[in-house]
Amino acid sequence: MPVNLRAADPEALAPVAGLELGWAEAGIRKPNRKDLLVMRLVAGANVAAVFTRNRFCAAPVLVCREHLAAGAGVRALVVNTGCANAGTGTQGLADARASCAALASLLGCAPNQVLPFSTGVIMEPLPLPRLLAGLPAAVARLAPDHWAQAAEAIMTTDTVPKAASRRLTLNGRTVAVTGIAKGAGMIRPNMATMLAFVATDAAVGQPLLQRLIRRLADASFNRISVDGDQSTNDSFVVIATGAAGGAPITAEDDPRFGVLAEALQQVTVQLAQAIVRDGEGATKFIEITVEEAANEYEAAAVAYAIAHSPLVKTAFYASDPNLGRILAAIGNAGLEDLDPARVQVQLNDVWVVRGGCRHPAYREEDGQRVMREAEVRVRVQLGRGCAGTTVWTCDLSHQYVSINADYRS
Amino acid sequence: MPVNLRAADPEALAPVAGLELGWAEAGIRKPNRKDLLVMRLVAGANVAAVFTRNRFCAAPVLVCREHLAAGAGVRALVVNTGCANAGTGTQGLADARASCAALASLLGCAPNQVLPFSTGVIMEPLPLPRLLAGLPAAVARLAPDHWAQAAEAIMTTDTVPKAASRRLTLNGRTVAVTGIAKGAGMIRPNMATMLAFVATDAAVGQPLLQRLIRRLADASFNRISVDGDQSTNDSFVVIATGAAGGAPITAEDDPRFGVLAEALQQVTVQLAQAIVRDGEGATKFIEITVEEAANEYEAAAVAYAIAHSPLVKTAFYASDPNLGRILAAIGNAGLEDLDPARVQVQLNDVWVVRGGCRHPAYREEDGQRVMREAEVRVRVQLGRGCAGTTVWTCDLSHQYVSINADYRS
pLDDT tens digits for range B259-314 = 999 999 999 999 888 888 988 889 999 999 999 999 988 999 999 999 988 889 99
- CA dihedral sign of residues B166, B168, B174, B179: negative
Residue B59 has pLDDT above 90, yes or no: yes
Q: In this structure, are A267 and A381 located in the same domain?
A: no
Are A291 and A231 found together in one domain? no
**Burial tier of A83 (Cβ tally within 10 Å: 0-12, 13-18, 19+):** buried
- What is the predicted pLDDT for the residue at A42? 95
Task: Tell me the CA distances in angstroms from A339 to A15, A112, A347, B87, B91, one per residue in order.
Answer: 52, 54, 21, 12, 17
Which of B335, B398, B408 is closest, CB to CB, to A401?
Answer: B398
- Gyration radius of chain B's alpha carbons: 22
Beta bridge partners of B195: B182, B235
| pLDDT at A263 > cutoff 70 | yes
Least confident of A179-188, A199-208, A336-345, B277-286: A179-188
Residue B182 has pLDDT above 50, yes or no: yes
Q: Which of B51, B54, B56, B395 to mutate to test the interface with A (most CBs of A within 10 A)?
A: B56
Q: What is the domain-level CATH number for residue A157? A: 3.60.70.12
SS3 letters across B183-252 = CCCCCCCCCCCCEEEEEECCCECHHHHHHHHHHHHHHCHHHEECCCCCCCCCEEEEEECCCCCCCCECCC
pLDDT-derived band at B192 (thresholds 50, 70, 90) equals: very low
Is A320 part of the contact surface with chain B (CB cutoff 8 Å)?
yes
User: Residues B309, B311, B316, CA angle at the centre, nearest 5°?
Assistant: 100
Of B193, B283, B389, B393, the active-site residue reads B193
Any CB–CB contact under 8 A between A87 and chain B?
yes
Question: Which pLDDT band holds residue B189 (cuts at 50, 70, 90)?
Answer: low
Query: Averaged over A215-228, what is the pLDDT?
Result: 84
pLDDT of residue A188: 64
Number of independent structural domains in chain B: 2
Confidence of residue A57 (pLDDT cuts 50, 70, 90): confident
Residue A189: band (very low, low, confident or very high) from pLDDT cuts 50, 70, 90? low
What's the whole-number average pLDDT of chain A?
91
Listed residues B257, B277, B297: the one ending a domain: B277
State yes or no: ipTM above 0.85: no
pLDDT at A408: 61
Any domain includes A209: yes
B364 touches chain A (CB under 8 A): no
Do both A81 and A159 map to the same domain? Answer: yes
Q: Judge: B327–A86 Cβ closer than 8 Å, yes or no.
A: yes
On whether both B211 and B339 belong to a single domain, the answer is no
Q: How confident is the model at residue A37 (pLDDT cuts 50, 70, 90)?
A: very high
Based on the fold, state whether residues B134 and B245 are members of the same structural domain.
Answer: yes
Show which of residues 120-179 on chain A sit within 8 Å of chain B, judged by CB atoms. 121-124
Cross-chain residue pair B121–A55, CB shorter than 8 Å? no
Mean pLDDT for chain B? Answer: 91
The strands making up B36-41's β-sheet, listed across from edge to edge, are B19-24, B36-41, B76-83, B114-121
User: Residues A129, A186: one domain?
Assistant: yes
Residues of A whose CB is below 8 A from B122: 322, 324-325, 327-328
B389 in catalytic set = no
List, in sequence order, every residue forming a beta bridge with A342; answer none if it has no partner: none
Element spanning A41, H or E: strand A36-41
Cross-chain Cβ contact B328/A185 below 8 Å: no
pLDDT at A225: 81
| Banded model confidence at residue A157, pLDDT cuts 50, 70, 90 | confident
Q: What is the pLDDT of residue A356?
A: 87
Mean pLDDT within A211-222: 88
pLDDT at residue B156 above 80? yes
pLDDT for position A77: 96
Q: How far apart (Å, rounded) are the C-alpha atoms in residues A35 and A378?
A: 37
> Residue B310 and residue A227: Cβ atoms within 8 Å?
yes
Residue whose C-alpha is closest to residue A164's, from A10, A393, A276? A10
**In this structure, is residue B1 part of a structural domain?**
no
Q: What is the pLDDT of residue A192?
A: 43
Q: Do B118 and B223 fall within a single domain?
A: yes
Q: Is B405 at the interface with chain A, CB within 8 A?
A: yes
Q: Is B315 on the interface with A (CB under 8 A)?
A: yes
3-state secondary structure A302-330: HHHHHHHCHHHHHHHHCCCCCCHHHHHHH
Domain that holds residue A133: 10-277
Q: How close A290 comes to chain B (CA, Å)? A: 17
Q: How many Å apart are CA A250 and CA A207, to the nearest integer? A: 8
| Residue that is last in its domain, among A230, A246, A277 | A277
| A–B CB contacts, 8 A cutoff, strictly below | 209
- Kindly compute the dihedral angle of the four CA atoms of residues B348, B351, B353, B355, in this order, to the nearest 10 degrees: 130
* B66 and B127 fall within a common domain: yes
The reply to whether B335 falls in a domain is yes
Interface check B235 vs A, CB under 8 A: no
Domain identity same for B33 and B167:
yes
Residue A197 and residue A122 share a domain: yes
Contact A45, A74 (CB under 8 A): yes
Provide mean pLDDT across the span B181-198: 71
Q: A298: distance to nearest CA of chain B, Å? A: 14
pLDDT at B191 over 60: no
A273 and A300 assigned to the same domain: no
Of residues B87, B91, B331, nearest to A324 (C-beta): B87
CA angle A181, A182, A183 (to 5 degrees): 135
Q: What pLDDT band is residue B186 in, cutting at 50, 70 and 90? A: low
Sequence-ordered list of residues with C-beta below 8 angstroms from that of B259, at least 6 positions apart, any chain? B168, B170
pLDDT above 70 for B55:
yes
pLDDT grade, residue A195 (50/70/90)? confident
Interatomic CA distance for residues A409 and A130, integer angstroms: 20
Are A306 and A380 spatial neighbours (Cβ–Cβ below 8 Å)?
yes
Residue A1 lies in a domain: no
| Residue B142 φ then ψ, to 5° | -55, 125
Q: Which of B23, B26, B235, B22 is nearest to B128 (CA)?
A: B26
Active site residues of A: 193
What CATH number corresponds to the domain at position A301? 3.10.20.340
Task: Say what the pLDDT of residue B405 is.
Answer: 84
Q: What is the mean pLDDT of residues A288-306?
A: 94
pTM of the predicted structure, to 2 decimals: 0.83
Residue B87 lies in a domain: yes
Residue environment code for B2-21, b if the CB has 16+ CB neighbours within 10 A, otherwise e? bbebeebeeeebbbbbbbbb
Q: What is the mean pLDDT of residues A239-258?
A: 93
**CB B400 to CB A310 under 8 A?**
yes
A-chain residue closest to B317, CA distance: A405
pLDDT in tens, A319-375: 999 888 899 899 989 898 999 999 999 999 999 999 988 999 999 999 999 999 999
Q: Are residues A56 and A200 both part of a single domain?
A: yes
Judge whether residue B123 has pLDDT over 60: yes
The pLDDT tens digits for A65-117 are 999 999 999 999 999 999 999 989 999 999 999 999 999 999 999 999 999 99
